[in-house]
Copies of this chain bind each other. A is one copy, B any other.
Amino acid sequence: MNISYRLADIVLQLGGRVLGNADVCISQIATLEKAQSSHISFLTNSKYRAQLATTQAGAVILGEADADATDLPRIISGNPYAYFARVSALLNPLPEAKPGVHRSAVVGAGAKIDATASIAAMAVIGDGTTIGAFSVIGEGCCIGANTAIGSHARLYPRVVIYHDCVIGDNLIAHSGAVIGSDGFGIAMDEGRWIKIPQIGRVVIGNDVEIGANTTIDRGALNDTVIEDGVKLDNQIQVAHNVRIGAHTAIAGCAGIAGSAVIGRYCLIGGGARILGHLELADHVEVAAHTLVGKSIREPGSYAAIFPFSKTGEWRKNTVHLRHLDELVRRVKALEQEIALLKGKDQ
């Protein structure tokens, strides 16, 4: 690829303003430390400010407050991190996929595949399934019967979507993601588990990204719902009947148990666990590796992390946790003794 842009061209497309030579041509984006003269870099974290003086970058993206922090050709933006993302997308367009169905793919009866869509080698499209305009179904993907996928989807190799799911536009799904598998529904009957059929669907809005090997189960009776703009990292488990509110982002390895309802604009840390049948308000942040065991009605930041230490110290301190109630009672007893002694004393 040999894409390159003048700074003047970039601000024409993305807004912001240029300070310094607007004719500088850049062809890639890089960190301040690694950038070369054909690269544009960016400062979004003041911790790296010193690198502005030494960077070899041909240009930089800066926030308003840093507009004069360098003499390098620069683009000034109100949100330099988002601007960096947009410039990178401009310089790194996704490779185009050839429209049409690969000769090795298998397409079911009554499937409707838009003429602009691309179905890669070894993919299997179920009966009655719809694939929207400019969508790309990667190698070895399996889409079940009667599922609808909107336009501009990008499914990387070996994504599975089960039958009867409904997916909006601009889905990105990474390899190994599984959407629409059965929820974990079982009923005990005389010493044996009976399977509860999972007859709900997975319904996904627009602009959703789903990481590698993430799983989203279909609903038991009602649907599992992922609203617009939700971003899921790798290896996340979303159980049946969960609803994740719009623009919520969840980091890798998190698990959301059945029927939990997560608000909008939440941030859930890596490996966090949200138990079933509870609700998180909008704008709730949950720290990594934290279990949330009851509903959170108030926006804010929540945590439950055991602090790590050298194993010897950890053991020495931790042994007391099994006797914490006793310790509290001992303190209470001491308080009573003191009160008594003070009483006598007076």
Binding site for B on A (CB under 8 A): 28-31, 34, 79, 81-82, 84-86, 88-89, 92, 95, 102, 104, 106, 120-122, 124, 138-140, 142, 144-145, 156-158, 160, 162-163, 172, 174-176, 178, 181-182, 184-189, 191-197, 199, 207, 209, 211-213, 215, 217, 221-222, 229, 231, 233-235, 237, 239, 247, 249, 251-253, 255, 257, 265, 270-271, 273, 275, 285-293, 300-325, 327-328, 330-331, 334-335, 337-338, 341-342, 344-345
Contact = CB atoms under 8 A, between A and B. Distances in A.
A313 to B, nearest CB: 7
A187 B285 CA distance: 16
Contacts of A106: 102, 104, 121-122, 139
A154 to B, nearest CB: 10
Contacts of A287: 311
B308 A292 contact: yes
A303 B308 contact: yes
12 contacts: A86-B194, A122-B122, A124-B140, A142-B175, A184-B251, A192-B229, A234-B239, A273-B289, A300-B311, A320-B325, A330-B335, A334-B335
A305 B293 contact: yes
* In the complex, the 6 A-B pairs of residues with the closest C-beta atoms, listed nearest first: A304-B308, A82-B189, A142-B157, A181-B212, A160-B175, A184-B233
B308 A302 contact: yes
B85 A196 contact: yes
A333 to B, nearest CB: 8
B181 A247 contact: no
A341 B37 CA distance: 74
Contact of A160 (B29, B158, B273): B158
A252 B257 contact: yes
- Count of this chain's copies in the oligomeric assembly: 3
A282 B156 CA distance: 36
B275 A291 contact: no
B189 A211 contact: no
A307 B310 contact: no
Nearest to A33: B222
Contacts of A325: 316-317, 319-320
Contacts of A79: 187, 189
Nearest to A145: B95
Contact of A88 (B160, B197, B233, B257): B197
Contacts of A316: 325
A253 B239 CA distance: 11
A181 B175 contact: yes
**Most central of A247, A311, A315, A320 by chain B CB within 10 Å:** A311
